[in-house]
Structure 1
Amino acid sequence: MRYVLMILALMAGSALAQQVPQSAAQMQLSFVPLVKEATPAVVNIYAKIMSAPRRTPLQSDPFFERFFRDPFSERPRVQNSLGSGVILSEDGIVVSNYHVVGMATEIRVVLNDRREYSAQVLLGDAEADLAILKIDADTPLPFLELRDSETVEVGELALAIGNPFGVGQTVSSGIVSGLARSGAGGGNSGLGYFIQTDAPINPGNSGGALIDMQGRLVGINTSILTRSGGSNGIGFAIPADLVAAFVAQARAGEVTFARPWAGISGQPVDSDMAGPLGLDRPVGIIVSGLHPASPFLDAGLEVGDIITHVGGATVHTPNEMIYRMSVAGLGRSTAVRFRRDGVDKDVDVGLIAAPDDPPREETVLGARSILPELRIARVNPAIISELNLPLEAAGVVVLDAGRFGPRVGLRKGDLILAVNAVEVSHPSDLEALFGGEVRRFEIVIQRGDRRSLLRFRV
């Protein structure tokens, strides 16, 4: 009877039975044909990075630097970076991680057949941890096709290909174990939207390929979450859809990735908030703030609305929303669904870059100023986006504290609100306040969501 039940179960699950080896011949099946097809498009990358010399605070002081001058420590140091990359076109477009090649002065790309090429970075973005390279070859190069990230499902088989520990190209297998992992990568978490895999990933795999069983690129391996430091952890890959957006901007001549600007602040809806908001389960992002120039405000959204879908996909975190907008691309619009007073509404939101308006009026204080070399600018949406300032930020921001700014407590990103009880609205205000005969100063600054008072005399 037991065997009869087993046969019936196999017949009922014929689709599954076709995937299970049924003979010794079928057990000989392997990934060999797939690996032979895909590995020529995965490259090893060797990069040299010139790092600035280390300087102690005393070396930066005009009085003490002569006593602490060390000719050896002042020399730039050469660091070698090792990683992987993937060829995406026959004319030599290559994608890798920013942390592998982003600051490199010399990049060498080695193909699977041992051909070597020098490469240059066309476009890089530290936040997304992606970089697009270009190599010039005499013949067409092997490349991988990108797979639509929306079609990837949990449970699919996947192969990770890269150059772990510099031992040479290596292939490891696993499955896609999770989707839409937000902020899970640690370190350079990028846009906070990852494909999760249990395929072993080690140092040097960064920038390598995660492929499906048709040899298409599913994602770019970027990090691993592990307690031991080895490969026995959870790996994360940047989805191919975002890679495609980077390639499009690189081919258009951009050198930095321009992502759409939302101009909103909000927080994920959790289980404690869902009931009072009339939701049967936690979903979406509740809007807590809207910049006057926000395209969401222009589309009709208000504080208190709950954004549930962007581009037809459910969103649970701000990172997911920005990812969806980035994949859609600048200059377009995307469908947004939000809930207000228990009613779902659909609108189209224009995807724009953060406006550089009003003019930032970037200024460097002169030698006669109290704080010479201090670089400041007027806050606008572009500055807010670049420096990750609070949405309601206004006034004057520090772009570079210069040589003397750190001594009085100023840092890059500080908002200067007032000097000696005089409100500061424009860089010209600060030039006048720091250029007079006053020798005692009280500066009100905002750092993040915290205000502080700096007192000093000169």
Structure 2
Amino acid sequence: MIRAIATALCLSLASIATADTQIPNSRAEIALGFAPLVKQATPAVVNIYAKRVVAVRESPFQGDPFFQNLFREFGTTRPKVQNSLGSGVILSSDGIIVSNYHVVGMATDIRVVLNDRREFTADVLLSDQANDLAILQLNSTEEMPFLPLRDSDNVAVGELVLAIGNPFGVGQTVSSGIVSGLARSGTAAGAGQGYFIQTDAPINPGNSGGALIDVNGDLIGINTRILTRSGGSNGIGFAIPANLVAEFVQQARAGNRQFEKPWAGAVGQSVDADIADSLGLDRPGGIVISALHAASPYRAAGIRSGDVILSVDGQPVTNGAEMVFRMAVAGIGSVAKIGGLIDGKHQVVEVDLIAPPDSPARNQATTGRKSAIPGMVLSNINPAVVVQFGLPLLSQGVVVEDPGDIGARAGLRVGDILLEVDGRATPDVAAVTKALDAAKNRLSMGVQRGARRVVMRFRL
């Protein structure tokens, strides 16, 4: 028996030694190692070195445990060069690269180093802080190695994956793991929002923007964040799905400088067990609509407050982040099939995916010298303004786009909504500017800031 096992082991080792190097296509082949897969994929994963100029405030109270918080705005500012290190993935032979916004966002100088040590400069074509993605173009006419994008909706929990990047600046590194979860939202640390693929493949600082690939060498996601208490990898990492990356690339090639996603014009909440029971659903899931804008395409399709959205294009949604992700992947100009409990019946309706309407007109204006608060930039609120400044969906009136020097010193902020001036309602820009021009000696302003409403009083 022992002799038979030894003979089989020798034959196995001999076959390994004589076999041609190829991508593993079965569980048995995967057990032999990932070397062929790594050899194929790593040329398309790059290191990115970015420089940006930031304003740093110099304060004599810096480092003081008590006074530094009291005097945060005290002191002068000076420009400082800030360096960042991350990774990126080449997605096409003409040098289109995807990385994270937090790696290259606002950078003034970007240097890309390939696996074979060639170096190139690159320009940012499109970036979006909310989704933590950026698309770059290499400044080179050479043909580049690249990774193909896989349909990330077909990714399954338990799949073997490799994470490739440049952790801690030590050089290109490969780590292995599995897909630990899908449809993760609101769990990653940092600025990134939305919908993630979770993996236990170790991801550390510097891996950001690197590749998460499957056993065929296809890109399923861009490594972006980790869930950690220590700052190091605890085996819970997150990647932005490839389907969203594909939409970013498409918009970048179309000439967009900012990412545009469809506007639902609706707000709602996840359906928990209590809500499901009250609606007669057999299980929790979906989003119950609580409010709709008058211009919402969902309203135009016949959806009303109290209806429940269960799926977008056949994919289930359980919260707002998933719904926004599904709409973003579909893209503006497409028609989404929205399934749910609509008008008391399970049905599917078609919804035109549109950009937030920039109407009625903003009528942007800057207050003049005779105004009580000169130099303030104001606009009428419409759906596009609501999205731009993150205002509550049903906001109306006038928004402060820029408070100006005097307005800022008086306590006004970007995104404040002006409701009234000296007791008079201000439904539009013309009413605000007229009231500010007429103000004498004293001034009061009703302001909405987020969910709070306050009255600000000034002596002129």
Using structure 2 for the length normalisation, give the TM-score. Answer: 0.89
1:33 and 2:36 aligned: yes
Taking the aligned partners of 1:81 and 1:336, their CA distance within structure 2 comes to 41
Partner of 2:160: 157
Q: Corresponding residue for 1:232?
A: 234
Residues 184-333 of structure 1: matches in 2 within 5 Å?
184-190=187-193, 192-333=194-335
SS in 2 for 1:413: coil
2:440 alignment partner, one of 419, 438, 441: 438
**Is the aligned partner of 1:110 residue 2:113?**
yes
Q: Is the CA contact 2:180–2:200 (under 8 Å) kept in the aligned structure 1?
A: yes
Q: Is the 8 A contact 2:287 2:318 kept in 1?
A: yes
TM-superposed deviation, 1:79: 0.1
Alpha-carbon shift at residue 446 of structure 1 (Å) = 0.9
Match of 1:78 in 2: 81
Relative distance call for 1:69 and 1:257 in structure 2 (3 A) is: closer
- Cα–Cα, structure 1 residues 437 and 260, in superposed 2: closer, same or farther, change >3 Å? closer
Segment drifting more, 211-220 vs 73-82 = 73-82
Following TM superposition, by how much is the alpha carbon of 1:124 offset from its aligned partner in structure 2, in angstroms? 0.4
- Residues 53, 372 of structure 1: CA spacing in aligned structure 2 closer, same or farther, 3 A cutoff? farther
State the SS of the aligned residue for 2:51.
strand
Matched length:
425
User: Could you say which residue in structure 1 is the equivalent of 2:11?
Assistant: none
Amino acid at match of 1:84: S
Q: Find the counterpart in structure 1 of residue 172 from structure 2.
A: 169
C-alpha distance after superposition, 1:149-175 (max 9, x if no partner): 111000000000001111110000000
Could you tell me which runs of 5 or more consecutive residues in structure 1 were left unpaired when the two chains were aligned.
Answer: 1-17, 57-67
The one of 404, 427, 438 equivalent to 1:402 is: 404
Is the Cα–Cα contact under 8 Å of residues 264 and 391 in structure 1 kept in the other structure?
A: yes
SS at match of 1:237: strand
* Matching residue's letter, 1:312: G
* SS of match in other structure, 1:140: coil
1:41-190 equivalences under 5 Å are: 41-54=44-57, 74-190=77-193
Is the Cα contact below 8 Å between 2:58 and 2:78 reproduced in 1?
Answer: no
State the distance in 1 between where 2:51 and 2:326 align.
34
CA–CA separation in structure 2 for the residues paired with 1:407 and 1:264: 35
Measured against aligned partners, the alpha-carbon deviations of 1:21-76 in whole angstroms (never above 9, x if no partner) come to 5xxxx7971000000000000000000010124277xxxxxxxxxxx997xx5431
Please state how far the C-alpha of 1:130 moved relative to its aligned partner. 0.3
Gaps of 5+ in 2: 1-24, 60-72
SS at match of 1:75: strand
> 1:232/1:381 Cα in 2 relative to 1: closer, same or farther (>3 Å)?
same
**Aligned equivalents of 1:127, 1:20: Cα separation in 2:** 38
Cα contact 1:278–1:342 (8 A) shared by 2: no
Measure the CA separation in 2 of the matches of 1:363 and 1:148.
46
The answer to whether the Cα contact below 8 Å between 2:303 and 2:342 also exists between their aligned partners in 1 is: no
Could you tell me how far 1:409 is from its partner in structure 2? 2.3
Whether contact under 8 Å (1:266, 1:285) holds in the other structure is yes
Match of 1:454 in 2: 456
> Would you say the 8 A contact 1:242–1:326 is kept in 2?
yes
Q: 2:99–2:134: 8 Å Cα contact kept in structure 1?
A: yes
> Does the C-alpha gap of structure 1 residues 20 and 85 become closer, same or farther in structure 2, counting only changes over 3 Å?
closer
Specify the code of the residue in structure 2 equivalent to 1:270: D
Contact 1:418–1:443 (CA<8 Å) still a contact in 2? yes
Task: Tell me, in whole angstroms, the C-alpha distance in 1 between the residues paired with 2:58 and 2:432.
Answer: 29
1:13 corresponds in structure 2 to none
Q: Which residue of 1 aligns with 2:65?
A: none
Percent identity over the alignment is: 58
The offset of 1:406, in angstroms, is: 2.8
Taking the aligned partners of 1:138 and 1:340, their CA distance within structure 2 comes to 53
Cα distance in 2, alignment partners of residues 169 and 38 from structure 1: 12
Q: Runs of 4 or more off by more than 3 Å in structure 1?
A: 18-21
Counterpart in the other structure of 1:9: none
Distance in structure 1 (CA, Å) of the matches to 2:213 and 2:309: 32
* Superposition CA RMSD, Å: 1.9
Distance 1:134 1:27, change over 3 A: closer
Q: Quick check: 1:91–1:136 contact (8 Å CA) kept in 2?
A: no
Q: Which amino acid aligns with 1:171?
A: V
Moved more, 227-236 or 97-106: 227-236
CA distance in 2, matches of 1:145, 1:321: 26
Distance 2:439 2:266 in 1: 42
Shift of 1:375: 1.4
Cα distance change on mapping 1:437 and 1:391 into 2, 3 Å: closer
Q: Residue type of the partner of 1:116?
A: E
1:282 and 1:365 mapped to 2: Cα distance? 51
Deviations 1:286-335 (A, max 9, x none): 00000000000000001100000111111001111111011011111110
- Cα separation, 2, equivalents of 1:55 and 1:294: 47
Residue 69 of structure 2 corresponds to: none
